[in-house]
C-alpha cells in the first residue's frame, strides 16, 4: 500500500513538472516563416532557451514564475507576453526591423568621424557612470550603429545582441537593444530592450569574494531590493520609506493591490518618493500605468515606471539577475 502511494505521488509530481513546461513556436510577423535560434527567456534572468529548426521551443517554468515571457531574435524587435499558459502552446510573431537597420548602415558610412563621440555617449548612458561601469566592457561595439539625421539627438541600434562583460559583478550579459536615444540639449535619454544573463563568473576562485562583495553593495538600495521588500511588506525593515508629494509616509496597503491570482501591483495616483536610510527622498517613481505589476523575485514592469533620482542612475552596470540571493 505504501509503495503504491509513493508511486502515485511520484507520477503526480512528474505530471505537475511536465505541465509547467511552456511550449510554443516563433514566426516572422511578415512572412509567417518559422524563426530558428530565437531566444525565449524571462527578462533579467539566466532562464532561457532557443527555438529549433522548426521554430519550436520548450521552456521549463517549474519555479512557477509569473514574469512575462520575452522573445528576441536577430533583426527583429523583441516582444513580451504576459498571458501564457503551459496548457496551451504559445504562438509568437516577431516584427522585423531590417529596413531601419539598413538605413542606419547607409547613413553611418559618411559620418564615421562622429562614431567615436557617439560611442562614448552610448557607453556612459547605457552602462552608466558608476564604479561598476568602469569594469564593464561591450565586446561587440562594431555591431552598434548610429543614425545621423539630427545633431541634437544620438540614436543607436544594434545589429546583433550586445554582449557585455561585467567584471565588477562577475556576469556575462546579452542585451537585445530595441531603441536608444540621447537628447543633447536636455542631457536626457531613453533606451529600451531586454537582458539575459548568460554566465556567472564566480567559478574563478580568486575573484569570487570580489564579485560577491560588489554584488552586495549594488543590491542594497537598488530597485531589485525595493520590490522584493515591497512584496513581503518589509520596506521599513530594510531601510526604505515611501512618501507622496505631500511628504506623507505611505505603508504597504496604500500603494499595493492584489488580484485573485495572487498577482501584486504597485498603484498610486501621484509620484512616489523613495528614501533609503535618508531623511529626504533620493529617488522618484512616476507610474505610467494605472497599476504596475511586480513579483517576489524583484521583477517589475519596466514600461510602467519612469525613474528619477538615484535609482534612475542604476543602469546596465548595476543590473543583478533575478536569481541573485542576498546573504548578510
Q: What is the pLDDT of residues 63-104, one digit of tens each?
A: 767 899 999 999 899 999 988 887 789 999 999 986 555 555
Superfamily of domain 2-94: Carboxypeptidase-like, regulatory domain (2.60.40.1120)
Name the pLDDT band for 114 (thresholds 50, 70, 90): confident
Q: What is the pLDDT of residue 2?
A: 44
Helix (H) or strand (E) holding 91: strand 90-94
Cα–chain center distance at 71:
12
Q: What is the pLDDT of residue 65?
A: 78
pLDDT at 106 over 70: no
Distance CA 135, CA 116 (A): 20
Q: Write out pLDDT tens, residues 155-213.
A: 998 989 999 999 999 999 999 999 999 999 888 888 899 999 988 988 777 789 999 99
Closest CA to 100 of 126, 78, 75, 122: 75
Check if the beta carbon of residue 35 is closer than 8 Å to that of residue 26.
Answer: yes
Q: Write out pLDDT tens, residues 274-305.
A: 999 987 788 999 999 999 999 999 999 999 99
- What's the whole-number mean pLDDT along residues 150-158? 87
Give the three-class secondary structure for 172: strand
Q: What is the pLDDT of residue 10?
A: 39
Closest CA to 257 of 222, 288, 230, 228: 230
Q: What is the pLDDT of residue 105?
A: 54
Helix (H) or strand (E) holding 305: strand 305-309
β-strand partners of 24: 57, 90
Q: What is the pLDDT of residue 244?
A: 96
Q: What is the pLDDT of residue 38?
A: 97
Check if the beta carbon of residue 273 is closer than 8 Å to that of residue 284.
Answer: yes
Higher pLDDT, 185 or 321: 321
Q: What is the pLDDT of residue 150?
A: 76
Closest CA to 111 of 74, 76, 156: 156
β-strand partners of 292: 266
Closest CA to 39 of 95, 11, 84, 79: 79
CB atoms near residue 181 (< 10 Å): 16
**Helix segments in 74-192, DSSP class H:** 98-109, 115-127, 131-134
Q: Write out pLDDT tens, residues 217-229.
A: 999 999 999 999 9
The upper half-sphere exposure of residue 103, i.e. CA atoms within 13 Å in the direction of its Cβ, equals 10
Q: Write out pLDDT tens, residues 6-50.
A: 443 333 434 334 458 999 999 999 999 999 999 999 999 999 999
Distance CA 173, CA 46 (A): 9
Name the pLDDT band for 149 (thresholds 50, 70, 90): confident
Distance CA 35, CA 54 (A): 7
Q: Write out pLDDT tens, residues 255-280.
A: 999 998 889 999 999 999 999 998 77
Check if the beta carbon of residue 165 is closer than 8 Å to that of residue 176.
Answer: no
Q: What is the pLDDT of residue 317?
A: 97
C-alpha dihedral, 323 to 70 to 258 to 63, nearest 10°: -40
Amino acid at each position: 500500500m505504501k509503495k503504491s502511494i509513493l508511486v502515485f505521488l511520484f507520477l503526480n509530481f512528474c505530471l505537475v513538472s511536465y505541465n509547467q513546461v511552456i511550449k510554443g513556436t516563433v514566426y516572422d510577423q511578415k512572412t509567417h516563416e518559422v524563426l530558428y535560434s530565437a531566444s525565449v527567456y524571462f527578462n533579467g534572468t539566466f532562464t532561457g532557451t532557443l527555438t529549433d529548426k522548426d521554430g519550436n521551443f520548450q521552456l521549463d517554468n517549474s519555479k512557477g514564475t509569473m514574469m512575462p515571457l520575452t522573445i528576441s531574435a536577430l533583426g527583429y524587435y523583441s516582444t513580451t507576453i504576459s498571458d501564457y499558459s503551459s496548457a496551451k502552446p504559445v504562438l509568437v510573431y516577431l516584427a522585423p526591423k531590417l529596413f531601419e537597420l539598413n538605413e542606419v548602415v547607409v547613413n553611418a558610412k559618411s559620418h564615421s568621424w562622429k562614431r567615436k563621440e557617439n560611442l562614448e555617449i552610448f557607453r556612459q548612458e547605457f552602462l552608466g557612470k558608476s564604479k561598476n561601469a568602469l569594469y564593464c566592457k561591450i565586446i561587440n561595439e562594431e555591431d552598434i550603429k548610429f543614425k545621423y539625421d539630427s545633431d541634437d539627438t544620438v540614436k543607436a541600434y544594434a545589429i546583433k545582441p550586445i554582449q557585455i562583460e561585467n567584471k565588477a559583478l562577475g556576469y556575462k550579459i546579452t542585451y537585445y537593444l530595441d531603441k536608444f536615444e540621447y537628447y543633447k540639449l536636455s542631457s536626457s535619454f531613453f533606451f529600451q530592450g531586454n537582458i539575459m544573463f548568460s554566465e556567472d563568473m564566480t567559478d574563478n576562485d580568486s575573484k569570487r569574494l570580489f564579485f560577491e562583495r560588489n554584488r552586495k553593495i549594488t543590491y542594497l538600495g537598488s530597485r531589485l531590493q525595493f520590490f522584493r521588500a515591497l512584496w513581503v511588506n518589509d520596506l521599513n525593515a530594510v531601510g526604505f520609506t515611501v512618501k507622496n508629494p505631500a511628504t506623507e509616509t505611505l505603508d504597504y496597503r496604500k500603494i499595493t493591490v492584489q488580484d485573485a491570482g495572487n498577482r501584486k501591483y504597485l498603484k498610486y495616483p501621484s509620484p512616489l518618493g523613495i528614501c533609503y536610510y535618508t531623511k529626504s527622498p533620493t529617488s522618484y517613481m512616476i507610474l505610467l500605468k494605472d497599476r504596475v505589476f511586480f513579483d517576489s523575485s524583484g521583477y517589475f514592469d519596466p514600461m510602467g515606471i519612469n525613474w528619477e533620482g538615484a535609482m534612475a542612475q542604476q543602469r546596465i552596470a548595476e543590473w543583478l539577475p533575478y536569481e541573485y540571493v542576498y546573504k548578510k
